[in-house]
Each structure stands twice: as C-alpha cells, then as structure tokens.
C-alpha cells in the first residue's frame, strides 16, 4: 500500500490571503483610473497581490517554464500525428533552443527547465539534469494495461513535489507549466472524461498537430476503452494516475499540489496541464486558487476541465503546439497587470471621486485650444 495519500494536501493548502486581496481592491479603487477601466488586468493584479501577500504587488522577476516530458504507449494506436516515441526529439529541440517555447522564452528572458519522467529513449542521451527524475521508459498503453505501477505512480508524484520545492527554494516567483509528450492529449482526455463523467467523443480533440478523421476515431476508441478501466478507481487519485495517467501527468499533479503548499503561483498551459490540475483539484479543492489558465488551446477536454475548476483562460489565440508555448504568451499579461497595479498613482486628495485628473486637464486644454 502506498504511503502517499493525495487527500492529505487538503489540510496543507491554504487559499491566497483574502485580507490582502481586499486591501489590493481598496488600493485599486483609489488609483487614478476607475476600477474596471483595465478590464481583467485589475483582477490579475489583485490575485497576484493575494498570492504574494503583498500590497502593492511585487513585480514578477523570476518566472520559469517547467516542462514534464514523457512518451505514452497509447500512441502505438495511431492517435497522434507525432511519431511514436518522438517526445525525446521534441525535448532535444527545446534544449537546442529550436522549439516555439524556446524561442518565446529567449525573447522574454525566461529560463526553461525540462524534466524527463518517461521518455522512450536511453537516459544517457539526455543531460543529467533532465533525466535525473525519470521513473520509467514510456508509460503503459492505457486502453489495455496500467500506465504505471503503484510504486511508479508514487515516485512520479513525489518527483513533481520535489521539483516544486526546488523551484520555490531557488526563488522562482511564478511557474509556467507545460508538457512535452506524444500521446499526452489522449491521456488528458481520458482523465478529464473520467473526472467529469463525460463520454469519450465529447472530450476527444485532434491534438497539437491536427489528426485526420480516422486517427480521431482511433483516439475516441482508445479513450472509451481507457474510461472503462478508469471508472472503478475514481475514488483514489493516485490509483487513477497509475491506471490511466502516466509518469509525466503524475509528476505534474504532485508539482501543482506542492506549488500550492509553497504558495507559488502557476500558469497552466494546455489540456495536459489542465488534466493534471483537475486531478489535483480532486485531491485538494483549494489548490486551483493558486493557478491561472494561460490560454484556450481549442481542445474540448481542456474546456471541460477549466469549467470544472472555474478557471477562465487569459488568451484565446488557438495555440495548439503545447510545450508551454501558449501559457508563456500569457506571462507578459500577468507582468503588465502587476506593473499597473503597483505603479499607477493614487488620486490626489482633492480630486473628484472616480475621475482621473489627467483626463480633466486634457479636456480643459482641448477646450482652450478650440476657443
């Protein structure tokens, strides 16, 4: 029997500071722009204040992209446009600076960390800092067998927790969380369908590199068969991850839970990160208060998961590439919200309520010019 009980996180995770958030809201009401003028940026600034327990909010100075990587046996069924076992090649592209997330991270000056949990390659082919947490070579084919053994599932969750602690201890103040996988969207659709009580066809999308109709039907069949194996173990999240998850998703679940314990805010990428988040929410209902949904990838399973967690995507650009790229695009928005919240001046004591002095002055100047 596992010594790890994910339900224990319920007592370990607290919500972001509600009193601080109210202070941030009151401060926003005193600033020169009326509340609501900045749209969702107001809400983001207040959320970040509560997460940091700081008014005014501090700038996001040490963000990091964290990507968990793995291959999934279900890809053998032809459910992905990517080659079976091809996640290692995707990881090498990230490390070489040649993937979309690497290009964006370089432009935004954000470091990228990749953790191999179950790539289908010799670990000696990868840098030690990438392969150090590997649990196994590839995850099992979830339509007919368990993805992981119980021991492997626990090791993967604990690896994710350890990575979260490392990031918090090193001073990372916000994480962009994504995956590098082949077959991962099929795993994500299965987990989300199981936890939302939804049929396979409702949650099955076409993946990062859109598959054709025949591949989509194979994917639906794989999710349907995996769901039959998932439903009997819904009461135990660790067993669910072992049965129809994978080492990368198990690690992401542990990472998200421990980030919430350590009060580290996270921007979620696409459907795979959302699936791990939904498992984590099932274990600890307060945990989603520490997360933002970076973007809407267009995957129907992601929409289901985000709706269940009451998370609204920051961006809706339809970025499907995965690997954290869509969520990283949302980082400048979060940083902008922090800057505006901290740096906009408050109204002068004699200024009219809810009116920006600069706007009045501008109007008077314009009137004088017209006269």
Q: Which residues are catalytic?
A: 323
Cα gap 292→269, rounded to integer Å: 9
8 Å CB contact between 174 and 265: yes
Burial of 367 (0-12, 13-18, 19+ CB in 10 A): exposed
Where does the chain show beta strands of DSSP type E?
Answer: 63-71, 112-118, 174-182, 266-268, 291-293
Closest CA to 197 of 276, 304, 310: 304
Torsion (CA) 320, 270, 227, 84 in degrees, nearest 10: 50
SS3 letters for 206-245? CCCCCCCHHHHHHHHHHHHHHHHHHHHHCCCHHHHHHHHC
8 Å CB contact between 70 and 117: yes
273: phi then psi, degrees, rounded to nearest 5: -60, -35
Beta-bridge partner residues of 180? 69
Cα gap 224→92, rounded to integer Å: 33
Q: What six digits make up the tokens of 228? A: 């039959």
Cα gap 360→352, rounded to integer Å: 10
8 Å CB contact between 254 and 275: no
Q: What six digits make up the tokens of 352? A: 């009219």
8 Å CB contact between 202 and 300: yes
At residue 228, the 3 state secondary structure works out as helix
């Amino acid at each position: 029997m596992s010594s790890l009980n994910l339900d224990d996180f319920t007592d370990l995770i607290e919500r972001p500071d509600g009193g601080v958030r109210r202070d941030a809201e009151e401060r926003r009401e005193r600033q020169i722009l009326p509340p609501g003028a900045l749209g969702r940026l107001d809400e983001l600034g207040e959320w970040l204040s509560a997460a940091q327990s700081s008014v005014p909010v501090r700038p996001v100075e040490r963000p990091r992209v964290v990507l968990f990587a793995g291959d999934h046996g279900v890809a053998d069924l032809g459910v992905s446009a990517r080659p079976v076992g091809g996640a290692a090649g995707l990881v090498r592209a990230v490390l070489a600076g040649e993937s979309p997330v690497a290009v964006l991270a370089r432009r935004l000056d954000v470091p990228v960390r990749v953790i191999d949990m179950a790539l289908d390659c010799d670990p000696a082919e990868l840098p030690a800092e990438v392969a150090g947490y590997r649990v196994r070579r590839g995850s099992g084919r979830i339509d007919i067998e368990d993805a992981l053994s119980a021991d492997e599932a626990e090791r993967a969750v604990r690896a994710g927790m350890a990575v979260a602690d490392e990031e918090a201890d090193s001073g990372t103040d916000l994480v962009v969380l994504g995956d590098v996988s082949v077959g991962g969207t099929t795993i994500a659709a299965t987990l989300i369908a199981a936890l939302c009580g939804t049929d396979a066809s409702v949650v099955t999308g076409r993946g990062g590199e859109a598959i054709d109709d025949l591949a989509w039907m194979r994917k639906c069949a794989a999710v349907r068969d995996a769901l039959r194996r998932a439903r009997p173990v819904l009461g135990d999240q660790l067993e669910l991850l072992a049965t129809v998850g994978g080492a990368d998703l198990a690690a992401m679940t542990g990472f998200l839970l421990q980030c919430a314990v350590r009060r580290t805010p996270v921007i979620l990428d696409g459907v795979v990160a959302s699936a791990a988040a939904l498992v984590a929410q099932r274990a600890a209902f307060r945990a989603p208060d520490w997360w933002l949904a970076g973007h809407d990838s267009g995957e129907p399973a992601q929409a289901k998961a985000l709706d269940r967690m009451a998370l609204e995507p920051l961006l809706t650009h339809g970025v499907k590439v995965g690997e954290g790229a869509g969520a990283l695009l949302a980082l400048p928005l979060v940083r902008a919200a922090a800057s505006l919240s901290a740096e906009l001046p408050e109204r002068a004591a004699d200024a009219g309520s809810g009116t920006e002095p600069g706007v009045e002055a501008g109007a008077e100047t314009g009137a004088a010019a017209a006269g």
